[in-house]
Amino acid sequence: MNSTRISYNYSLIPNNPVNRYWLLGFIEGEGTFGFKNLSPYFQLGQHTKNIKVLKNIALYLQTIPQVFTFSKNSLPLKVSYALHTNNSISVISVNNIDSLYDYLMFFLLDMPFQSRKGLDFYYWGIVLHLHKFGYFYLKAGVKLVSEIAKYTNKGRYSTNLTKVSSPSLEDIIKVLKLSLPIQLTPEMRHVKLGQSFSRLVQERNIWVYDKGVLINSQPYASYGKAMEAIGYSRTSLAARRSIDTGKVIGGRYTFYSAPQT
């Protein structure tokens, strides 16, 4: 019935069995509300033998209507396919901030989660909100996103010897009360918003530490130069996403906007 089964009769499976509650149950068991370089993404995985299930889910996700209609230029959910490194697990994922916020987040906010996955989703939704409106580009916003990412991943496991506390409601409200120097407009996509925040920075200093040791006596003038100095691509977002959070990149490097004492 399980791993030793070799006969699959796909004709017995309905062409598209997916509906909103079927999908919710599948997400509670197999879904990931994750963060990559502090940017939220949504992912579902299955054994490659069950790729038809993922394809049906992908088709259903693309039919979800836009609920947050404030945004005028959001694109429907675009699902990416990938094969896990062990070649036996296929995954579908969505990582576009506008699509995740305007379509998927509000769709799932209406759903009755029954497991811990619901709490992960709510914290993930807070991070998505911080990205969508630009709070993430403030120092306090980056710090809050980093704390949420640590908590909702391995930090909450009962087997983790180093427990990570959940961010308090007060801390979340404090960030959401901050004034934003740039206001999101209906026509503005997330990429444009990020570029607008980036242009506000007149002078950028990035101090890079290798296992706590400063690697250069002078700061780097751009994220690209900082990443290049440690052997990464200049286009990598790792420094930009982790600066002042204490997040370790590549098991070694941390990035700060001021020297650490």
Q: What is the pLDDT averaged over residues 30-45?
A: 92
Contact 179, 137 (CB under 8 A): no
Read off the pLDDT band of 86 (50, 70, 90): low
Which has the closest alpha carbon to 146: 54, 9, 37? 37
Query: pTM score > 0.85 for this model?
Result: no
Please state which of the ranges 128-137, 151-160, 204-213, 247-256 shows the lowest mean pLDDT.
151-160
* Domain extents in the chain: 12-176, 201-256
Query: Could you tell me the two tokens for 105?
Result: 């987040």
Query: Could you tell me the two tokens for 202?
Result: 């007149």
Q: How many residues does the structure list for the chain?
A: 261
Read off the pLDDT band of 157 (50, 70, 90): low
DSSP state of 49: G
Residue linked to tokens 């920075």:
201
Read off the pLDDT band of 102 (50, 70, 90): very high
pLDDT digits (tens, 9 = 90+) for 228-241: 999 999 988 888 88
Contact 207, 259 (CB under 8 A): yes
Q: Is the pLDDT of residue 66 over 80?
A: yes
Contact 188, 241 (CB under 8 A): no
Residue linked to tokens 């999101």:
184
Domain 12-176 has CATH 3.10.28.10: yes
The residues pairing with 255 across neighbouring beta strands, listed in sequence order, are: 208
pLDDT digits (tens, 9 = 90+) for 130-151: 999 999 999 899 889 989 998 8
